[in-house]
């Protein structure tokens, strides 16, 4: 939720509209500031008596410990409604923690000389092959060094403005550590047309999105569909969970190859919807989380010891979830031509596949 703190001389209260909450504070010295991102969670039984700074570091991994300490000391953290300024404060089970991360004074991203792998480009759009470790757009903890900064440097002013100041041209996203194909709009008409295709999820048009993933275990049967709604995990807002009443999420899965007598499998995942962490959560829900996924595969770390030395070292070198956006297809917004793109596995993920040995 985006929370705006405003001040007036005579009005105090709040107004909520959609995902935006405006708080009016009865003062006369103008606007206090803007908190771009709110992080809310409830302290669990296993987290009781933990230091607030260490708790936040685990729940908000996008921010450094030093940054979190500074935010605590500046009064940006509340514990069950009380402002905390001591980073060593201990929490209790059931405490409600809220972190407000201020946006920078000037939220306008600037161009940065970040290398891009351009697969296709014309006057309307650009298709890129995103590397691991690259955040798509500026947000709390990542105000610079993003794909948007790279695109601004590459495209100049020729990016669609529909997505807003921080997301020019962005039609869809990939997680920071997910690699592969993305399309970005360079004109407003392209942005509108592409957004419609993504909103339709390819149900009545040519949009196609397919991923390659390495998962623990061999899923059965060879082809299946996961149709489970997704929403934010109420205990950890950084996580997504299967939740009744959540947003529709559908993933079609096919087993391509199994390794090491079924210890690991390579699967293809075709998205019928595009929710945050969708493939990662759906596969974990089926009992087959992605290799290297620190968020959804923590209970599978012991399986790493069963890997051959070469594969174990390759997984450590990968250092992220083994997920790659390998196929992207859509209708060109002005020519009507159906474009289809494929991307080979990045070197680190291919190295892991090779180290797993011969398929079984």
3-state secondary structure 193-242: HHHHHHHHCCCCCCCEEEEEEEEECCCCCCEEEEECCEEEECCEEEEEEE
Q: Is the dihedral of CA 325, 149, 143, 318 positive or negative?
A: positive
Residue 4 CB partners (closer than 8 Å, separation 6+): 20, 21, 22, 23, 34, 35
- The strand pair at 20-26 and 2-8 is best described as parallel
Say which of 53, 129, 175, 177 is annotated catalytic.
175
Number of neighbouring beta carbons within 10 Å of residue 254: 15
Q: How far apart are CA 342 and CA 125, in angstroms?
A: 17
Q: How far apart are CA 39 and CA 237, in angstroms?
A: 7
CA angle (346, 350, 352) in 5-degree steps:
125
Q: How far apart are CA 1 and CA 40, in angstroms?
A: 10
**Is residue 261 annotated as part of the catalytic site, yes or no?**
no
Residue in the block written with tokens 């299946």: 224
Active site amino acids: 175
């Amino acid at each position: 939720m985006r929370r705006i703190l405003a001040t007036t001389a005579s009005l105090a209260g709040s107004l909520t509209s959609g995902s935006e909450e405006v708080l009016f504070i009865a003062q006369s010295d103008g606007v206090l500031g803007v908190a771009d991102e709110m992080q809310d969670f409830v302290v669990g039984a296993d987290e009781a008596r933990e230091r607030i700074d260490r708790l936040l570091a685990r729940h908000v991994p996008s921010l450094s410990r030093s940054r979190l300490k500074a935010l605590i000391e500046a009064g940006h953290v509340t514990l069950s409604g009380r402002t905390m300024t001591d980073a060593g404060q201990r929490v209790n089970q059931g405490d409600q923690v809220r972190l407000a991360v201020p946006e920078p004074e000037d939220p306008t991203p600037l161009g940065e000389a970040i290398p891009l792998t351009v697969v296709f480009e014309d006057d309307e759009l650009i298709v890129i092959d995103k590397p691991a470790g690259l955040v798509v757009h500026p947000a709390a903890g990542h105000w610079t060094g993003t794909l948007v900064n790279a695109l601004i440097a590459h495209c100049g002013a020729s990016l669609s403005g529909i997505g807003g100041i921080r997301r020019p041209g962005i039609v869809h996203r990939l997680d920071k550590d997910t690699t592969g194909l993305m399309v970005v709009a360079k004109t407003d008409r392209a942005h509108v047309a592409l957004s419609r295709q993504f909103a339709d999820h390819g149900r009545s048009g040519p949009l196609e999105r397919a991923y390659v993933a390495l998962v623990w275990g061999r899923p059965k049967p060879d082809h299946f569909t996961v149709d489970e709604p997704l929403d934010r995990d109420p205990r950890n807002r950084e996580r997504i969970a299967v939740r009744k009443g959540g947003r529709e999420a559908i993933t079609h899965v096919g087993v391509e190859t199994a390794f090491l007598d079924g210890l690991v499998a390579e699967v293809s995942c075709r998205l019928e919807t595009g929710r945050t962490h969708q493939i990662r959560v759906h596969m974990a829900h089926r009992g087959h989380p992605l290799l290297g996924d620190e968020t959804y595969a923590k209970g599978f770390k012991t399986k790493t010891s069963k890997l051959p030395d070469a594969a174990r070292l390759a997984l450590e070198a990968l250092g992220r979830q083994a997920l790659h956006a390998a196929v992207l297809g859509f209708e060109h917004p002005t020519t009507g031509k159906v474009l289809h793109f494929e991307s080979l596995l990045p070197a680190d993920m291919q190295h892991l596949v090779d180290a797993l040995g011969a398929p079984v």
